[in-house]
Amino acid sequence: MTEKTFSLHGAGDMDTQTLEINIGPQHPSTHGVFRMNVVLDGETIVSLKPVMGYLHRNHEQIAENMSYTGSMPYTDRLDYFNSMSNNFGYAMAVEKLANIEVPERAHYIRIIMAELTRLVNHVSVIGFLLNDLGAFFTPVLYAFREREKILDIFEEVAGARMMCNYLRFGGVKYDLSPEVLARIAGILKKFPKFLEEFETLLTKNEILCMRCQNVGVLPAELAVSASVTGPMLRASGVNYDIRKADNYSLYERFKFRVPLGQKGDVYDRYYVRILEMRESLKILEQAVKEIPAGDIMSKKMVPFLKSPRNFKPPVGEAYARVEAPKGELGYYVVSDGTAQPWRYHVRAPSFINLTILEDLCIGQKVADAIIILGSVDIVLGELDR
């Protein structure tokens, strides 16, 4: 903090100085150990430097010293809210590398899990965003109530609530029983009601509107040139959803729309997420109804469940990406024909979406920086890897 000099006479020639403060790294609103180095003029932000790396755990290097399956539980810990979609991306990359076919039922299970994860992520991020706005813990606890039901399903199916480690190359680890499918269907029935309630609580709330509208506007051109992805990008009105663009897995079989925002402010980012949840529900309904019977693992890969160390993909490289709840989650894997990847890289949406934070925040008030960060939706496990 720099010293201030005050002159008592005449506000006009009062000396002002900028003030440099650190928000974080131990601050609840930074969603983890993340620091923003902010320069303020009064309450207005002049510059903002994100400082990251506090949670760096060397994920990529560790993966390069490990069997391919061995990295699967580590990917859970990237974006620990969405371990299922993290698994999904990694499994897809290795399947592409080794040319593995996935049975249809496994595709459906994966899609069901990925969309449930999206629900979990979006309700929580909205809850936390409201926390940042000062609606202290009421919305987040409503959100967590719904999240809990879905996590129960994850626990029942995969054995863990958050660190699922559920997907395997060529399929999934356990099958979905009819009871679990019925329970998922039950959740799907109740979820729209909850969303409506959630929206009554929030969408038209005047305080929320005043705080969020026209704050942190992200123009479409900037979003595209900074390769922002996910709900952030779509809130700015760019129609780009990897589920549609790539049609990976079996997404082309499902009917859903891609909700878009208009302005790209915090409110749009909030609302796009609400709409995305509704679309996810549509996908889930179709998937639960149409899920075919059959194998859950490709025959070729079953032996490697028992001996991951013998799985040696052919020499080559592969990049696969999925539409994770936070954006484009990509995995780049290079194989040199041994049991360990020669190179392993994660394209983390949290990290890339954060690069435009300064552009969003300059000129805004310091309290707005908090909600802008909240609306970017970062998870430090993925950001720092």
Partner 1 sequence: MIFGTGILQGLMVTLKNFVTSYFKAPDEGGIFTVEYPEKRLPEKERFRNFPFLLYDKNPENLRCVACDICAKECPPKCIYIVREFDKDGKPLKRPAVFDIDFTVCMNCGICEEACPFDAIYMDHEFEIASADRHAKLLYHRDDLLKSNEYFHKIRPTDASAIDARRREAEEKKKAAEAAALAAQKAKEAAAAQAKPPEPPKPAAGA
Binding residues for partner 1 (CB under 8 A): 66-67, 69-74, 77, 138, 142, 145, 148-149, 152, 155-160, 163, 165, 173-174, 186, 190, 197, 200-209, 305-309
What span, in angstroms and rounded, lies between the C-alpha atoms of 263 and 308?
48
Tell me the closest approach of the beta carbon of residue 304 to partner 1, in angstroms: 10
Alpha carbon 93 to its chain centroid, in Å, reads 18
Tell me the closest approach of the beta carbon of residue 14 to partner 1, in angstroms: 36
Tell me the closest approach of the beta carbon of residue 156 to partner 1, in angstroms: 5
Strand 35-41 with 32-33, pairing: unpaired
194: exposed, middle or buried (Cβ count in 10 Å: 0-12, 13-18, 19+): middle
| 167 three-class SS | strand
Burial 113-138, CB ≥16 within 10 A → b, else e? bbbbbbbbbbbbbbbbbbbbbebeee
Task: Give, as one character, the DSSP assignment of residue 339.
Answer: S
Nearer to partner 1, 173 or 234 (CB): 173
What span, in angstroms and rounded, lies between the C-alpha atoms of 146 and 151?
9
Nearer to partner 1, 170 or 327 (CB): 170
Tell me the closest approach of the beta carbon of residue 124 to partner 1, in angstroms: 17
What span, in angstroms and rounded, lies between the C-alpha atoms of 126 and 140?
7
Nearer to partner 1, 155 or 290 (CB): 155
User: Which is nearest to 127 in space by CA: 142, 112, 113, 149?
Assistant: 142
Tell me the closest approach of the beta carbon of residue 352 to partner 1, in angstroms: 27
Nearer to partner 1, 128 or 166 (CB): 166
Nearer to partner 1, 67 or 229 (CB): 67
Nearer to partner 1, 23 or 266 (CB): 266
Residues 6+ apart with CB under 8 A from 204: none
Nearer to partner 1, 30 or 67 (CB): 67
Tell me the closest approach of the beta carbon of residue 205 to partner 1, in angstroms: 4
Tell me the closest approach of the beta carbon of residue 192 to partner 1, in angstroms: 14
Q: Is the peptide bond prior to 25 cis by the omega test (within 30 degrees of 0)? A: yes
Nearer to partner 1, 14 or 182 (CB): 182
What span, in angstroms and rounded, lies between the C-alpha atoms of 376 and 241?
17
**CB distance 106 to 301 below 8 Å:** no
Tell me the closest approach of the beta carbon of residue 73 to partner 1, in angstroms: 4
Nearer to partner 1, 135 or 373 (CB): 135
- Helix residue ranges, H only, the chain: 59-63, 72-76, 83-98, 104-133, 138-158, 178-202, 206-212, 220-225, 231-235, 242-245, 266-290, 302-306, 349-354, 357-361, 366-376, 380-384
